[in-house]
Every structure is written in C-alpha cells, then in structure tokens.
C-alpha cells in the first residue's frame, strides 16, 4: 500500500466550500437582516453544483460519475454489508456515499431554484422578481424549506457514514478529503492535482462574493441614521403605488399609511367615519373622499401587494374591520417584543409612528432590512 492522490484539488475545494456555504445558509435563516448573505450562499451553492456536474464528466478519475455510478439497491446492499462488517473498501466513493452525493446535488438544485422564486415573490428581489405573485411564491417557499430540511437529514446521514466507514476500514476519511491522499494498492488509477482549475475556482468564488456584496448591500440606510447594523438588502422591486392626493389629505397629521396595510373594508369604514377620525374631523368633501377610497381599495391589503399585506390579511377574520393597523393580529405579533420603554422613548412616542423604526415606512414596503429600533437615550442615574 502506498499514499496516492485520490481527491484532486478542485474536488476538495468544492467539498469544503459547499460545507461552509451549507452551514452559513442555515445560520442566516433567522432574520432578514442576513438575507443578503443567505442569498449569496444559495447562488454560490448553485454555482458549486454546476461545477460539480461538469467535473463529474471532465474531472479526474475518482471525481467522475462513471467511477461511482451505483444504483440505489447497490447502495442499500453496501450499507447492509457495512453493518455486517463484510463491506469491501472503496478507494473512491462507496455506493452508499455516492447515493448521498446524487441526492444532495438534486436537493441543492431544488432548494436553490425555489429560493430564487421565494425571493422574487416575497421580497421582490433577485433574478425572478415579478415572475409570480406573492401567493404563488409561497408554494416555492414550502419546497425551499422542505428541501433544506431534507438536506440536513442527508448531511447527517453522510456524516454518520463517514464516521462508521472510518472505523470499519480503519482510515480517516475526513482527513483524506483535506489532504486528498489515501493508501492504495500499487497500480491504482492516478490523479492529477489540477491546481490551475482550483485557483480559477477560488478567484471566481471570491470575485462573485465581492461583486454581490458591493451591489447588494445598501449603505445609504445606515448613513441615514449614522449607524452600522450589519448587512441588509436593497429594495429593488417595483415601487408601490403612490398618490399625491392621499399624501396631502392623510399625511399632514401622521405618516400617510400606505393602503397595503389594511383591507379595503377598513379603508371604507375609516373614510365613512372621517368626521370622527380618532378625535379629529377630517372635513373631506364627498368627491375627495370617493377618490381617496378608490385609491385605497385598488392598493389595499387584500390585493396582497407585499409580504405585510399578505400576512395582515391572513391574520384577520372576514368579519374583522380594524380601524388601526396597530390592532391587526399580525402587527401585534410582530411588535410584541418591543418594550414599553422603547414605545415611550422620545424618538417613537406612538405605535402609529412607524417611520421612527421603519426607514421605508413612507414607501409602504416595510422590509425587515430597513427596520431599526432607535436607541433609547440613557436615563441619567440618580446621584448617590
């Protein structure tokens, strides 16, 4: 037995970049604040599997699909032999590991493409912006979540397989994916490192990362408040409908709340009750009132123009006609973690003062990426 190069450099680079992207993609699922990183890692994984498919045809011996083209039954039979401790050793991928590779490649494809559809529908961003409605993109979001969870399952199985195999054949499989070498019989197929191709891959990965973050991250939002709260995504979707009459009639006392935040029955009730509007008489004439209602109805929450309108509508019962956005169950749920001190701070004062925390409140988009809770001025401590 002699040490021989089995995994060429591009295969190893592919493997470990995929591992890091996978972990990173999971870590960035919690908040839209990290969406730019999450989306970049998704595109990167799609690029990586594109490369892997090419490399499966053009690459070196052990990287080629022909060297590990086993059916699912062979994979199961091999797994059984592993448990019976009669499994033969494979220098390249064993039949069970091969099955995991094919399933993972497929799952990444499904997760990546469904992710781009979700992004296009829900956030109005990315390559598929405007391709489908928010409601249609919800189906793809399901696919995205299911495929990501299945991936986690297959990865766990893969890790268990690596550990078991390493014990059964008394060799460190994880280390050989780092060094590339394994002990083989003399005369086993040889592999060329392919350093040039690996270097090209590295340049492409780093270059695309640089390009993505240069264009995707909006620093203007930070500059507006003189804060830096980490990466967030630019809004590049179609701007929501705007109306000068609405702005002038409804924007003098508070933010001219965008109609997508309440259903049309609420706008109808608000305008019908305009003479007793939260203690004020709006004194609108009939024509103005009708024009405002027309604008509100065509852009209301039931038209599902934004993620917020979809979720507000879904949180209401058909009979509910809230007169306040701040009384809709979705709004209440989204803001339940804000403390009384934060609501009462000088910068906020009222729940209805959306613009204090949402930099895009005026446009009506309410993206997480544009959300900030203003720092509460420290109350001076009583002297001791």
* Residues at the contact surface with ligand HEC, assessed by CB under 6 A: 249-250, 252-254, 257, 261, 270, 277-280, 282, 292, 307-308, 324-326, 331, 334-335, 338, 342, 348, 350-354, 356-358, 366, 368, 371, 373
Nearer to ligand HEC, 179 or 248 (CB): 248
Closest CB 151 distance from ligand HEC, rounded Å: 25
What is the number of alpha carbons within 13 Å of residue 9 lying toward its C-beta? 11
- What is the four-CA torsion angle of 307, 313, 315, 317, rounded to 10 degrees? -170
Nearer to ligand HEC, 182 or 358 (CB): 358
Contacts of 265 (CB under 8 A, 6+ apart): 321
Euclidean distance between CA atoms 356 and 338, whole angstroms? 13
Nearer to ligand HEC, 8 or 307 (CB): 307
Contact 113, 93 (CB under 8 A): no
Closest CB 38 distance from ligand HEC, rounded Å: 15
Cα angle 84, 90, 92 (rounded to 5 degrees) comes to: 145
Give how far the C-alpha of residue 130 lies from the chain's centroid of Cα atoms, to the nearest Å: 17
Contact 187, 2 (CB under 8 A): no
Closest CB 311 distance from ligand HEC, rounded Å: 7
How would you class 160 by CB atoms within 10 Å of its CB: exposed for 0-12, middle for 13-18, buried for 19 or more?
exposed
Nearer to ligand HEC, 240 or 373 (CB): 373
Give how far the C-alpha of residue 5 lies from the chain's centroid of Cα atoms, to the nearest Å: 38
Euclidean distance between CA atoms 234 and 125, whole angstroms? 8
Closest CB 31 distance from ligand HEC, rounded Å: 7
Closest CB 335 distance from ligand HEC, rounded Å: 5
Closest CB 42 distance from ligand HEC, rounded Å: 19
Nearer to ligand HEC, 96 or 243 (CB): 243
Can you give the C-alpha Rg of the chain in angstroms?
28
Nearer to ligand HEC, 232 or 358 (CB): 358
Euclidean distance between CA atoms 202 and 10, whole angstroms? 9
Per-residue burial over 228-261, b if 16 or more Cβ lie within 10 Å, else e, is: eeebbbbbebeebeebeebeebbeeeebbbbbbb
The residue behind tokens 């019962």 is 317
- What is the four-CA torsion angle of 208, 212, 214, 215, rounded to 10 degrees? 140
Contacts of 198 (CB under 8 A, 6+ apart): 8, 9, 10, 13
Closest CB 366 distance from ligand HEC, rounded Å: 4
Q: What would the two tokens of residue 339 be? A: 């403390």
213: nearest Cα among 8, 380, 81, 44: 44
Closest CB 22 distance from ligand HEC, rounded Å: 25
The residue behind tokens 């169950």 is 329
Nearer to ligand HEC, 17 or 124 (CB): 124
Nearer to ligand HEC, 70 or 330 (CB): 330
Nearer to ligand HEC, 79 or 293 (CB): 293
Nearer to ligand HEC, 297 or 351 (CB): 351
Closest CB 384 distance from ligand HEC, rounded Å: 32
Closest CB 343 distance from ligand HEC, rounded Å: 6
Contact 190, 26 (CB under 8 A): no
């Amino acid at each position: 037995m002699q040490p021989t190069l089995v995994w060429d450099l591009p295969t190893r680079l592919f493997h470990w970049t995929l591992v890091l992207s996978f972990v990173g993609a999971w870590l960035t699922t919690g908040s839209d604040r990290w969406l730019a990183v999450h989306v970049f890692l998704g595109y990167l994984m799609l690029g990586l599997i594109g490369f892997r498919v090419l490399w499966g045809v053009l690459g070196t011996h052990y990287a080629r699909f022909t060297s590990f083209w086993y059916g699912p039954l062979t994979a199961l039979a091999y797994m059984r032999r592993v448990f019976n401790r009669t499994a033969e050793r494979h220098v390249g991928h064993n039949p069970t590991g091969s099955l995991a590779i094919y399933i993972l490649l497929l799952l990444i494809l499904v997760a990546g493409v469904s992710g781009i559809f979700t992004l296009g529908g829900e956030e109005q961003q990315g390559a598929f912006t405007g391709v489908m409605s928010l409601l249609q993109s919800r189906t793809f979001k399901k696919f995205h979540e299911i495929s990501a969870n299945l991936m986690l399952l297959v990865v766990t199985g893969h890790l268990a397989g690596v550990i078991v195999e390493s014990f059964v054949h008394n060799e460190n499989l994880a280390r050989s994916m780092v060094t590339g070498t394994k002990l083989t019989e003399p005369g086993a197929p040889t592999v060329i490192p392919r350093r040039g191709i690996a270097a090209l891959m590295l340049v492409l990965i780093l270059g695309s990362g640089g390009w993505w973050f240069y264009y995707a991250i909006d620093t203007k939002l930070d500059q507006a408040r003189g804060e830096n709260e980490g990466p967030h995504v630019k809004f590049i979707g179609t701007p929501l409908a705007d109306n000068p009459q609405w702005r002038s009639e409804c924007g003098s006392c508070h933010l001219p709340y965008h109609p997508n935040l309440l259903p049309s029955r609420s706008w109808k009730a608000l305008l019908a009750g305009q003479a007793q509007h939260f203690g004020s008489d709006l004194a609108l004439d009939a024509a103005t009132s009708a024009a405002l209602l027309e604008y509100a109805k065509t852009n209301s929450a039931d038209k599902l123009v934004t993620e917020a309108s979809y979720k507000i509508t879904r949180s209401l019962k058909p009979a509910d006609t809230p007169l306040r956005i701040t009384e809709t169950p979705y709004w209440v749920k989204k803001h339940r973690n804000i403390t009384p001190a934060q609501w009462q701070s000088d910068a906020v004062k009222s729940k209805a003062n959306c613009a204090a925390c949402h930099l895009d409140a005026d446009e009506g988009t309410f993206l997480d990426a544009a959300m900030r809770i203003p720092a509460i001025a420290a109350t001076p401590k009583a002297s001791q």
